[in-house]
């Protein structure tokens, strides 16, 4: 789940995605068994101010590896559901139950009053789409954003999946967004500046005439869902914060076929491109290691949905 940032405006010369995504009906809020450990905001919805360290202790890091592996497995299995006719509410139902079966809590549930257990963002929805009764249609693309709270820490990961036969611009968008995440990860090294990540992503996006969303950014993650560390996906000269060994955070670029400026639906969560053009996102939780960034949201076998889709789109 991304953090909100500032707005920007650039021109777009790509047609909007038609028909536009419309909100559907919401199912009742799903419940979590009493024996499942909950994050502090689970009851009130208010996470409060960030107070955690940006770096992890060895025990916290081990917990993040276990939690990230479970989140990666859930995302892989949720992706197997993606096909025409499946509703995003059905995906939410699966993710909710899978989190509980793993012994964890679905982190988005009641975070700042978010009503569901996963974010499902279709076509022109940039992020934070709320699962509902809308069935997926042939040619859609959908980002599924899974975050799991377990062992006292969060694991946050997302992938954009293809629904049936997808047109060439959407295929290209997904391919280059996946590649931009890889480039952002490759830019991480101990002592490196945060803005090196955004520079790598924005440079790639511009080469492929794609917009970079600025309103929503990566973030520190660990014992808190969102810590104070900010990871923009664009180059900001003044953002020279240095990444220390053991720092944990997400990189989650959101690229667009057209203008990256965002608007919010009345639900105050669903962010969409103002011009209606499509957008894709990929995300990993990472830790800064001796030789660079280590992906924490992969299965024990090293698999993840991101790599699966990247191999499909070339």
Which residues face 286 on adjacent strands?
249, 295
Residues 6 or more apart whose CB falls under 8 angstroms from that of 257 comprise 12, 14, 169, 170, 173, 210, 211, 277, 278, 279
Q: pLDDT digits over 244-270, tens only?
A: 999 999 999 999 999 999 999 999 999
Average pLDDT, the chain: 95
Per-residue pLDDT reduced to its tens digit, 139-182: 999 999 999 999 999 999 999 999 999 999 999 999 999 999 99
Fold of domain 3-9+52-313: Creatine Amidinohydrolase (3.90.230)
What is the pTM for the complete model shown? 0.95
Q: Is the CB of residue 205 less than 8 Å from the CB of residue 282?
A: no
CB count in 10 Å sphere of residue 217: 24
Q: What is the pLDDT of residue 7?
A: 43
Per-residue confidence band for 3, with pLDDT thresholds at 50, 70 and 90: low
Buried b (16+ CB within 10 A) or exposed e, 86-121: ebbbbbbbbbbebbbebebbbbbbbbeebbbbbbbb
The whole-number pLDDT of residue 312 equals 87
Q: What is the pLDDT of residue 156?
A: 98
For the segment 179-235, what is each residue's pLDDT rounded down to a tens digit?
A: 999 999 999 999 999 999 999 999 999 999 999 999 999 999 999 999 999 999 999
Confidence of residue 11 (pLDDT cuts 50, 70, 90): very low
């Amino acid at each position: 789940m991304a953090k909100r940032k500032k707005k920007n405006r650039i021109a777009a010369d790509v047609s909007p995605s038609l028909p536009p995504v419309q909100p559907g009906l919401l199912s009742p809020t799903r419940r979590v068994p009493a024996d499942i450990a909950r994050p502090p905001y689970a009851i009130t919805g208010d996470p409060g101010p960030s107070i955690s360290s940006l770096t992890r202790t060895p025990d916290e890091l081990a917990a993040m590896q276990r939690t990230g592996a479970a989140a990666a497995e859930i995302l892989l299995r949720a992706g197997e559901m993606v096909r025409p006719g499946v509703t995003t509410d059905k995906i939410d139902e699966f993710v909710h139950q899978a989190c509980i079966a793993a012994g964890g809590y679905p982190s988005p549930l009641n975070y700042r009053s978010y009503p569901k257990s996963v974010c499902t963002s279709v076509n022109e929805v940039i992020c934070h789409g709320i699962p509902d009764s809308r069935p997926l249609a042939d040619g859609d693309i959908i980002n599924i954003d899974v975050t799991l709270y377990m062992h006292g820490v969060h694991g946050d990961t997302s992938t954009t999946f293809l629904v049936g036969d997808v047109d060439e611009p959407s295929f290209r968008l997904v391919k280059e967004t996946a590649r931009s995440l890889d480039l952002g990860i490759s830019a991480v090294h101990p002592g490196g500046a945060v803005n090196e990540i955004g520079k790598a992503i924005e440079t790639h996006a511009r080469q492929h005439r794609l917009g970079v969303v600025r309103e929503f950014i990566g973030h520190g993650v660990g014992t808190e869902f969102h810590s104070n560390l900010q990871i923009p996906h664009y180059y900001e000269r003044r953002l020279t914060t240095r990444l220390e060994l053991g720092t944990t955070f997400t990189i989650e670029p959101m690229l667009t076929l057209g203008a990256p400026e965002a608007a919010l639906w009345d639900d105050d969560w669903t962010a969409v491109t103002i011009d209606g053009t499509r957008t894709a996102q990929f995300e990993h939780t990472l830790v800064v290691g001796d030789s660079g960034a280590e992906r924490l949201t992969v299965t024990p076998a090293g698999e993840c949905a991101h790599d699966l889709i990247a191999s499909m789109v070339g």
